[in-house]
Every structure is written in C-alpha cells, then in structure tokens.
Amino acid sequence: MSPRAINELKTIPCLFTYEKFHKSEGYVGFIKNIDIYQKGIKIDYELTGQVITFDNLMQLTELLDMGTWEWNRTHWTIKKTKLEELKPYLQGNYINKPKIFISYSWNPPSNQQNVFSLINKLEKDGINVVYDRKDLHPGQDMNYFMEHFLTSDEIDSIIIVCNEDYAEKANKRMGGVGYESEMIISEIKNEPLQRKYIPVIFEHGDNGELPLPNFLKSRYCVDLSRDEGYDDLLNAIKRLKEEFSA
C-alpha cells in the first residue's frame, strides 16, 4: 500500500463495527495512520463520538451494499457511495456519546491501574474518555492540553480522581496536578450547584477520611470503593449529557 493510498484512506469517514452476531453498536471515526509490517497491518483510528445503534446499522446494509458474508467475518472494505445521501440518515440516527476528561495523579502506580480500569469500564459503557496517556501526543504542549479539555464545551464531564498524592499536589500547586487544580478552581468557585466537575475516590485515606484537596472538601464525592459507586458515576455522566442534549 503506497503512502498516497494511505493518505487517501485517512480522508474517508469510517464505520467501525463488530461482526453481526454480537448485535453491537457501530462507531463513526477516521483512520489516523496505517503501519504495514511483514506479517500484518496496524491501523490507528480515532472515533468522533458518534454511535449508531445496531438496528439502525442494519438499515444501512442496503445503502452501503453490504453483503451478508461481510457481516460475518473480520475484514475491512471500501464502499463507494455519495456521502450526501448518507448524511441525513446518519444525523438522524446516531447517538452522541458523553465525552469526559479525567484528571488524576500518576502516583502511586496502583492509582494508575485503578484509573485505567475505570476508563475501560466507562468506554465499554459508551463513554468517550479523553486522558493524557491516549490523547496527549509527543510534541504537543502539555499545559495547552490541560487547559483545552478542562475548559472546553465539547467535554460534558470532568472526572477528578482524588487520592492522597493528588490532594497534596493540588493543595501545594505542584506539577501538572497543581496546574489543573488552579483551572478547576476558577471554573467552580462561584458555581456551588455545578455538576460538570465530579470528584471520585477509589479508597479512603490512612485516617479514614476522604483524600480530597481543600477546594473539593465540601463537594459531593463519588466513592468508587462502594458497590454502587460506579453506577452512581455512570448515571451522573449520562444524565447530565441527556439534560444538555434535550
């Protein structure tokens, strides 16, 4: 595959789907890069946040000239069609996934593991999660990355993962956590009833207290160590998205 062909593929809107028997949603996105190896191909992609329900995906079968066999094997294909004919259909049938940003401390390593497990669960439950390890790329400005996603209207919820390390760095305005904290404070200080910025914890501090930084101590915190904690968080994210989309 030539570089020219790869560049052309990167301009074509994509549908990412599972085989038909899964009866899963389809996702809209674009190919970001293709690496060709001796024994395989690696495709990097980026989703737009648009989701197409399984029933609506099946209705696209005829429009995209999808054969039955194409739904029952792992492969990729290019369909020649007029996008203008598909746009009204897609715009009327996709579901906007909630898009969230996660602010967290890299220390200790167990906290990272908890954060990545949380991200996994949220993505499986239809949440578009933005976080540094996935979305911050070499050469990009780290401060701009934090500023953009912590204050952007495209982000529906900000999840603030608090532990003792996060609380200490936030209180002392240290490092990336300290920088993010200053921006969060400016966003919520005059908004006592805001619901966009949600503090969460995985465990209590050594003294049994919630490991929250000073500026979040009076805020309602979702305790993910409780059985119902994850459902509480997921419902809060989805409910806020639904209310603002109504």
CATH top-level class of 97-245: alpha beta
- The CB-side HSE value for 201 (13 A sphere, CA atoms) comes to 22
Sorted by where each begins, the domain ranges of the chain are 3-95, 97-245
pLDDT at 88 over 80: no
Write the single-letter amino acid at 23. Answer: K
pLDDT at 209 over 60: yes
Residue 101: predicted pLDDT: 97
Res. 91 pLDDT band, cuts 50 70 90: low
Q: CB 190: neighbour CB atoms within 10 A?
A: 7
Q: What is the pLDDT of residues 161-195, one digit of tens each?
A: 999 999 999 999 999 999 999 999 999 999 999 99
